[in-house]
Amino acid sequence: MTSPVWHPFTQHGLGEAIPLVTHADGAAIHTADGARIVDAISSWWVTTHGHNHPRIAAAIADQAQRLDQIIFAGWTHEPAETLAQALVDLMPAPLAHVFYSDSGSTSVEVALKMALGYWANRGEPHDRILVMEHSYHGDTIGAMSVGARGVFTRSYTPLLFDVGTIPFPGADAQPTLDALEAQARAGAAALIVEPLVLGAGGMKFYAPEILTEMRAICARYGVLFIADEVMTGWGRTGTLLACKQARVVPDLLCLSKGLTGGAVPLAVTMATPEIFDAHYATDRARMFFHSSSYTANPIACAAANANLAIWRDEPVIARIDLLATRQADRLARIAAHPSVTGARRAGTIAAFEIGGGEGYLADIAPLLTRYARENNVLLRPLGDTVYVMPPYCIDEADLDAVYAMVEHFLDEASA
Ligand SMILES: Cc1ncc(COP(=O)(O)O)c(C=O)c1O
């Protein structure tokens, strides 16, 4: 029987089997044919503490019995109020305002609109957005516009707006900083960046000092600084926010994925009082014109409150440190493999390149993805970049299984 489901980022014409997942627990998912599969990519980077965390599952069940959904324009509810205050307490000052949306992409759209609204309401119509080469910020039109252009965006080019691109920092970061300075001096509304790790662009890492410098340049020229921590947030790079390692606080902060521990969709865009105040007036024409039907859905907010309670009550950073150490150890071993180059790690994220570029190894991502699935690992390389980004609860045996599978694949591929 053919399924009517149209899957994301999937070429159905290749006829690949799509496994039916029935349940999950901790760092594993289970399929209808009885396989237990190690989730080495946290189900697209969302699952932080582990699948079906009992505290998050209980909060969702409890909230679903009380209040499932309520329009959020002109109405409020306790889970949203509690969550907003908890986020303000947890995230760095002066991020004092919380705007809810539903996904990483929408949190980016909101940040971009807030930046332009800020300038428009001040009567200074800056509208140019600066971005970093190789960035990814989501798949809605605005998010695509501020992301890298390529095969993913080619068909939609007429919908995308122009941006100013600064080069990804190489061994010498000066060209990046010089380009940012020149474009900031010329006038721009905002810079949007993925702090320390460019995820979908190929797990490209850059040093905290560069982020610090970029933030300083934006501050010097009055360019708003948007940190997209949709992937890097909630401990992935070793600290709650990647920005913390660079000691910077953005004007706008985008969070999603791990906000609910990865259980249900929710996002926030946090803003400084300056940005909120630019929209604050008795004039309705100056309000922030954005909403979606499920803004601040109570069940999603309850899940996020449970996630924040886990961060408060449990040794989450200690678990992250342990996973980071274990990742470093496995990475050092696999780096010795002749087919592996560019081994690197940021907190719990390990990445490396594989393949020789030609022949069998050239089209390596789909081959490895399939091999992983056949060997009970969920992995999804980005081209020839392999990354391992598991939930923090993964144990040593499961982590070893992931790396052993990659090693076997490389041995077989180069045999
Ligand atoms: C840095 C970053 N921003 C935004 C997004 C988009 O998030 P979503 O897929 O929830 O729309 C992603 C998704 O991977 C991301 O990595």
Ligand 1 pocket test: which of 102, 231, 232, 255 has the largest number of ligand atoms within 8 Å of its C-beta? 231
Instruction: Determine whether the shortest distance from the Cβ of 213 to ligand 1 is under 6 A.
Output: no
Which of 403, 410, 405, 404 is closest to 360 using CA atoms? 410
pLDDT digits (tens, 9 = 90+) for 135-164: 999 999 999 999 999 999 999 999 999 999
Q: How far apart are CA 72 and CA 54, in angstroms?
A: 28
Residues of the chain above pLDDT 70, percent: 98
Q: How far apart are CA 143 and CA 394, in angstroms?
A: 32
pLDDT of residue 362: 58
What is the arithmetic mean of pLDDT over 4-19? 94
List beta partners, residue 353. 341, 385
Instruction: Determine whether the shortest distance from the Cβ of 104 to ligand 1 is under 6 A.
Output: yes
Among the atoms of ligand 1, which is closest to the Cα of residue 103? 10
The tokens for 129 are 């957005």
H or E stretch covering 351: strand 349-354
Helix axes 396-414, 316-334, angle to 10 degrees: 20
pTM above 0.95, yes or no: yes
pLDDT of residue 356: 57
pLDDT digits (tens, 9 = 90+) for 284-342: 999 999 999 999 999 999 999 999 999 999 999 999 999 999 999 999 999 999 999 99
Q: How far apart are CA 60 and CA 65, in angstroms?
A: 9
DSSP 221-282: HT-EEEEE-TTTTTTTTSSSSGGGGGT---SEEEE-GGGGTTSS--EEEEE-HHHHHHH-SS
Model confidence band, residue 372 (pLDDT cutoffs 50, 70, 90): very high
CA of 219 to the centre of ligand 1 (A): 25
Q: How far apart are CA 56 and CA 53, in angstroms?
A: 5
CA of 193 to the centre of ligand 1 (A): 12
Computed from CA positions of residues 320, 326, 332, 336, in that sequence, does the dihedral angle turn out positive or negative? negative
Among the atoms of ligand 1, which is closest to the Cα of residue 265? 10
| SS (HEC) of 316-343 | HHHHHHHHHHHHHHHHHHHCCCCCEEEE
The tokens for 252 are 């706008």
For the chain, what is the mean pLDDT?
96
Instruction: Determine whether the shortest distance from the Cβ of 142 to ligand 1 is under 6 A.
Output: no
CA of 282 to the centre of ligand 1 (A): 35
